[in-house]
Structure 1
Amino acid sequence: MATKFQPRLGDYFRFVTQGTWQPRGTDYEINFGDIETSGATPNLTDIERYSREFAEKTLARSDTIQKDMTLSLTVMSLMREVAQMMWMDADGDLLTQAAVTAQTKTFSNLKVGRIYDLGHVNTSINSADDDGSVPVVFVEDVHYKHNSELGKVELIAIPASATKLVMEFDAAEIDAEDDIAVYGGMAGQGVFGTLRYYGVSDIGQNFKIEFWNVRIKPSGEISLQGGDDYGQVQLDVRVYADGTKPDKFRFFKVTELKN
C-alpha cells in the first residue's frame, strides 16, 4: 500500500553524551569520563476528577500537584569526584601524619600468617629482633614482609626461640602536598552540585542538558571486589528545583546543539 505522506527517514537518533560535574559553590566543571548508561525518570503526581454527570463516571479533569525527577548514572571512570559520590563525603580531607624517628612497637602474640600494624604509614624498618640479651634477629623477606605504604608487617617465619618481635621504625611526614584523599564513609547525605550532559552523537539531534541542583549518592550495592570486567560505579541522582532560575527552567534546561 502506498504511503499517505512523505516518509521521514532522516530523523532517527542515538543519544551519546559526555557528562560534567560542577560541585556546589565552585566555578568549574569536571569531565565525568566514560559513562556507560544514564537515564532520567520524571515523576508526576496527579489528582483526578471523574464526573458523575454522565451515565458512568467519566474522567473530566487532571491536575498535577507534585513533580520530581530521578536519574540513574553508571560510570566507568573513577576519579576523585566520583569517589566522593561513592563514599558520600565531599569535604576534600587529606591524610596527614607527623614524621617519627626510631619509634618502637612490640608484638608478643606471634604466629606465622598474622599481619601486624605499626600504627603509622609510609614506614621504614630500622631493626627487628626479640629484644633478648642476645637478640634473635628477624630478617625481612625471610621472617617477615613489610608493606611501607600501609605500615603493615606480615610474619612468614619465626626464628627459633623468639617469643616476641620488637620493631624499630621511622615514618615519613605526610602533608597536603602528598595529596592523599581520605573519606568518611556516609559522612554526608550525598554530593550536591550541577550535572550537565553534552550530546556528541553522529546520529540525530544533540542537546545540552543542565540539571542545576542535584544530589548524587550510590545506587544500591557498592562493589568492593570486581569480577572479570572493568569496574563501574552505579549512582542515583535526585533532581531539585533551583529557585534562582526562571520558573520554567527551575528543574533543568535543554538546549539544542548544532555541531
Structure 2
Amino acid sequence: MLKLENIQKTYGDFTLNCSLDLQPGYITGLIGPNGAGKTTVFKSALGLISLDGGTVSIFEKPFNQLSLTERQDMGVVLADSGFSGYLTVQDITRIMKRLYHSFDSEWFIKKCEESGLPLKKRVKEFSSGMKARVKVLAAMSHEARLLILDEPTAGLDVLAREELLDIIREYMESGDRSILISSHISTDLEQLCDDLYLIDKGAIVLHEETDVLLGSYGLLKATQEQYQDLDKRYILRQKKETYGYRLLTDKIQYYRDNQPDIIMEKGSVDEVITMMIKGERL
C-alpha cells in the first residue's frame, strides 16, 4: 500500500533517514517522542515536501504518477491541518461531495450525528475533540483504501477516543484497506495496530509486530551481582539504576526459564519506547 525506501530529508540539525512498509490489510503505528520525525514521514509520504533522497510509492506507484482515481483512494488527517473555521458540517458535506466521487454523504452525516457533532454550527465553535472527529470522519467518508492519520485522537477524552477507535476498526472490516497512524497515546496503538515502527532522531530504531512486542518483550530488574552473571545475548538496552540495572529484552521467556530469580515485568509500548530511546546499548 505504502512504501518508503531510504527517504532522506534535512532541516538544519535534523535529518530524516528511514524506511517503512505498510502492508495491505494492516494498521501500522508510527511512534516516537516529539521532534522524532513522525510528521516529516507523513509529509514525505504525501509529497508535501521535497526529499533529499530515497523513494516513496503508493499503490506500487511513485506519488507523482498516481491517477486522480488513485489519489481519491487516500484519506488523510494531519495534526497541523483542518477545515476552515467558517464551515459547518453541512458545508463540508457539500464540498466533499464535489471533491470525491465515492463520498458517502449519508454515512458521513450519520457518523457525525452519532459523534455528537452539530451539523449547522461552525467548525471554529467546535471543541478540539470535535474538530478531531470531523477530520477523521471526513477522511473515511469516501471509501479510501489507504488512510494516513497523524495524531487523530489528539484532544479526545477516553470515551471519545474509544468511539473513534471503534470506527477505525469497523472501517478495516472489508479487509482491503490499510492505515498508517501516529499517536502519543500508546494504549490506543496497543489495541489497534498490527505492527509498530519506533522513530527517534529521524531514524527507525525498532519495527515489531504488536503481538510480539507485547508478548515477548519485557523488563528485567537485576542487582549489580545478578547483572554480572547475566546472559546478555538477548538484552536490547540497559539503564543504570540505584539497585543495579533495568534491562530491555525481546526474549522475556528465555529469562523466565533460565534466570527466574531476577525480577521481571511484562513490557508495554511506553516502556519499550523509553528503554529504546533512553537506554544504552551493551
TM-score past 0.5 threshold: no
The structure whose residues are more often helix, as a share, is 2
Choose 1 or 2 for highest CA Rg.
1
TM-score (normalizing by structure 1): 0.21
Higher percent of residues as strand: 1
